[in-house]
Amino acid sequence: MQENKETPERKRERLRQEELKRNPTGSLNDAFNKANSGGLADLVGSLGWKGTGILILVIIIGFIFVSLLFK
């Protein structure tokens, strides 16, 4: 068995680090653009599927609560 398989999270981080080394000013531009568009992909990637499901449930329950509150 191969035990040196890279997880998707580690692979993404490794690729991100390599990109930062190759193009440091590009990451600065990305940071400015991310402030305008948000970083939902990063959030979902760091939470995993269980955390994302819980986040969606919290948003839905919060929306229902607010809509009932202001009826």
**Phi, psi values for residue 23, rounded to 5°:** -140, 75
Which of 1-22 are b and which e, b meaning 16 or more Cβ less than 10 Å from the residue's Cβ? Answer: eeeeeeeeeeeeeeeeeeeeee
Distance CA 36, CA 34 (A): 5
Confidence (pTM): 0.43
Q: How does pLDDT run across 1-55, given as a tens digit for each residue?
A: 456 788 888 898 888 888 878 876 665 666 666 656 556 666 666 677 788 888 8
Q: Where are the domains of the chain?
A: 8-69
**CA-CA distance, 8 to 57, in Å (whole number)?**
25
- pLDDT at position 62 is 95
